[in-house]
Structure 1
Amino acid sequence: MSVAAQSIALRDGLPVWNAELDDELVCVAVRDETPDVRSFTFAPRTPARFHYLPGQFLTFDVPVDGGSVNRCYTIASTPTRPDRISITVKRQAGGVVSPWLHEHVRPGVSLRAVGPMGDFSFVAAPAEAYLFLSGGSGITPLMSMARAHHDLAPETDIVFVHFARTPADIVFRNELASMMQMMPNLRVITVCEADAPGERWGGPRGRVSAAMLALLVPDLALRMVFDCGPAVFMAAVRTALGALDFDMSRYHEESFDFGTITEAPAPAEPTAPTATGFAVSFSKSGRSIAVGADQFVLTAARSAGMRLPSSCTKGMCGTCKSRLISGQVDMQHQGGIRQREIDQGMILICCSRPLSDLVIER
């Protein structure tokens, strides 16, 4: 939290929201964006103001299946409007958390959250001209950036290209159209794969490609690029930019998929610890593996074929949070765990190296 942020909050008579002191957020509004995408707006239970960078995310503790599941969601709102914070969530078929949010979160419902976190933001990459590329619900961090520019710097040159399945799936469609009227240097282009029932799409069609980017953004080489979407979408963007000889030092992408948890396939037989490293046992699964002193627990567990939840693998998102029953670790996290959780024996296994034999509740 910067001194400037603290000064602004104190000047306005409200503290800056701090998840270490009060991690409870209360839903104050819910809005449908598309048939399967919904925005949830939150406020602190104790009045406070939010301070974050456009593009950062929150990790929520979601009470599903009789327990608590951690999920990361990008902040879609803008820090220029600090009294409320919002996330926009696509309901994933067969998912666990997103259906629960859609079915249960209404005004008055509270959730615990930690953050904001993340380094995907234009703030660290100032430029006169940007290209925002988004696929599906990956639009949320770029919408936060666009909203911030709308409030602070309407002269910034932004081309915002969003890829959707059909016109019915275009998130923030009306708001982006309105923003274009207020920002002469904002150009929004939507590309759809197919028509929607009751609406034939008259704009660009198809998927991201070098030919499409060259056509839609002829001055691409002069722009700073921010890209977010499913992993396959971001891979296609990188391939397209490579084919256009784009300077990839001017390319930024969200480093992990907020909406999913990655898991490794289970091996045919349990893996026993070897003579090297420390023995790490998982109390719930009954598995035991060897982890080198220079290895992260999650890395070794995945190599052994264990199915363990994880998203960022950087100590930011909190999805691999686990209870350390015995032993000691060297944990180098980046904000994905609260200090009081550490005091209660929790660790992030993605950024924890063993200092002794361990027993972990997983």
Structure 2
Amino acid sequence: MNGPITRDALQAVPSRWDSDEDDVLICCQVRQETHDVKSFLFRPRSPGLIRFLPGQFLTLELEVDGETVNRCYTISSPPTRPDTLSITVKRVPGGKVSNWLHDHLAPGMSLRALGPNGDFSCALHPAGKYLFLSGGSGITPLMSMSRSFHDLGEDRDVVFVHSARTPTDIIFRRELGLLAANQPHFRTAFVCEGRGGEAEWAAPTGYLDLQLLARIAPDFGEREVFCCGPAPYMAAVRALLTEGGFDMARYHEESFSFADLPSDPAEEDSTSAGVTTCETVGFSVEFSKSGHTVACAPGQKVLEAARVAGLRLPSSCAKGMCGTCKSRLVSGEVHMEHGGGIRQREIDQGYILPCCSTPLSDLVIER
């Protein structure tokens, strides 16, 4: 609940939290999961139940060093605990947002959030048996799914295989043991690159390969697979599953890769100021802050046209879900098919997502 636990508070039925109506979340707790991973718990500033599918993500809007930055983080808590939600963040060396969260975000502080969004969820792919594969902080959406099964008393047939650097880097290690103890059909397996300081560690060391996966889950070919982790990890998983003859139609993955892209295309060496032409006649797109103008072919998205011209705009999902590329449309008209990464009031204020916007006229964008 969002206050003292009283009889009246328990009997009250809060409305559903809607980020379009009130996008402020209050940090109510910070938990140290490993030496470089923290979980941040949030609640709405007014009583509200947070509804989402296990595995979905939230887009945070943060003020870091005087700059508004958007980042997507998968929700690690389950929807069965709707008064709060949590994200679990690994500190990335040099990472602007992860370091700010670890060093500054504390209980009582507030931030803006958009969502939840995303279609990486076991709820959308019901199956008799699941195989969860995660690497590092990619464990978070699969933990949300696992917690959901546990809270609902659904003893699903799940094999959860997590890869980490060392045993001390296994996020939610003790809780996964509890989930396995409470559910006979929920099994965990850990694969660590090395033992670290745990000389008695008896689980496999090295990297997950087809032979090891076949030992852990001999029936992996019969399971619905959900995978999340760093890009090289997921590429390796795809390769080993393909080698093992797995039907990739039952493979699902999720990841967000946020490079620290410059906010001003003029910072790039690859493009000089002026007009970049395109062979196909379309519409012009002027970026008012940088002074660049690019040609956008018929049916081409603004972000794609900018990239073809050598410009780098802040972006991540490229699917209209995360809101990273949000920009103000100074003039012109677009057709935008977004996936939840922008609020209606922001659209009413003249903002667009270039990644999913197709020009219907010449445009001027504040970038």
TM-score under structure 2 length normalisation: 0.92
Residues 180 and 260 of structure 1: is their aligned pair in 2 closer, same or farther, counting only changes over 3 Å?
farther
Give the secondary-structure state (helix, strand or coil) at the position aligned to 2:358.
strand
* Correspondence for 1:312: 317
Q: Are positions 1:267 and 2:270 aligned together?
A: yes
Would you say the 8 A contact 2:314–2:325 is kept in 1?
yes
Q: 1:333 & 1:323 partners in 2: Cα distance?
A: 15
* Correspondence for 2:156: 156
Would you say the 8 A contact 1:58–1:75 is kept in 2?
yes
Moved more, 21-30 or 279-288: 279-288
* Correspondence for 2:186: 186
* Correspondence for 2:3: none
CA shift for structure 1 position 200: 5.3
Q: Are positions 1:280 and 2:280 aligned together?
A: no
Q: 1:272 & 1:71 partners in 2: Cα distance?
A: 30
Pick from 277, 294, 302 the counterpart of residue 297 of structure 1: 302
CA shift for structure 1 position 205: 1.2
Amino acid at match of 1:357: D
* Correspondence for 1:83: 83
Amino acid at match of 1:267: S
CA shift for structure 1 position 36: 0.9
Q: Are positions 1:339 and 2:338 aligned together?
A: no
Give the secondary-structure state (helix, strand or coil) at the position aligned to 1:63.
strand
Gaps of 5+ in 1: 1-10
Give the secondary-structure state (helix, strand or coil) at the position aligned to 2:139.
helix
Q: 2:289 & 2:168 partners in 1: Cα distance?
A: 44
* Correspondence for 1:6: none
Amino acid at match of 1:26: I
Q: Deviations over 1:293-312 (max 9, x none)?
A: 21000111111121211111
* Correspondence for 2:7: none
Q: How many pairs are equivalent?
A: 351
Q: 2:312 & 2:257 partners in 1: Cα distance?
A: 18
CA shift for structure 1 position 208: 2.4
CA shift for structure 1 position 328: 1.1
TM-score under structure 1 length normalisation: 0.93
Give the secondary-structure state (helix, strand or coil) at the position aligned to 1:68.
strand
Give the secondary-structure state (helix, strand or coil) at the position aligned to 2:327.
strand
Give the secondary-structure state (helix, strand or coil) at the position aligned to 1:310.
coil
Give the secondary-structure state (helix, strand or coil) at the position aligned to 1:76.
coil
CA shift for structure 1 position 65: 2.2
Moved more, 37-46 or 144-153: 144-153
* Correspondence for 2:356: 351
Residues 267 and 204 of structure 1: is their aligned pair in 2 closer, same or farther, counting only changes over 3 Å?
same
Q: 1:82 & 1:74 partners in 2: Cα distance?
A: 15
Q: CA RMSD in A?
A: 1.8
Q: Deviations over 1:108-141 (max 9, x none)?
A: 0101001010000011111111000001100000
Would you say the 8 A contact 2:138–2:229 is kept in 1?
yes
* Correspondence for 1:3: none
Would you say the 8 A contact 1:266–1:307 is kept in 2?
no
Moved more, 275-284 or 50-59: 275-284
Gaps of 5+ in 2: 1-10
Q: Are positions 1:321 and 2:326 aligned together?
A: yes
* Correspondence for 1:4: none
Amino acid at match of 2:334: V
* Correspondence for 1:17: 17
CA shift for structure 1 position 285: 2.1
Q: Are positions 1:212 and 2:212 aligned together?
A: yes
Moved more, 196-205 or 112-121: 196-205
**Superposition map of 1:54-133 within 5 A:** 54-133=54-133
Moved more, 57-66 or 195-204: 195-204
Residues 247 and 261 of structure 1: is their aligned pair in 2 closer, same or farther, counting only changes over 3 Å?
farther
Would you say the 8 A contact 2:332–2:360 is kept in 1?
yes
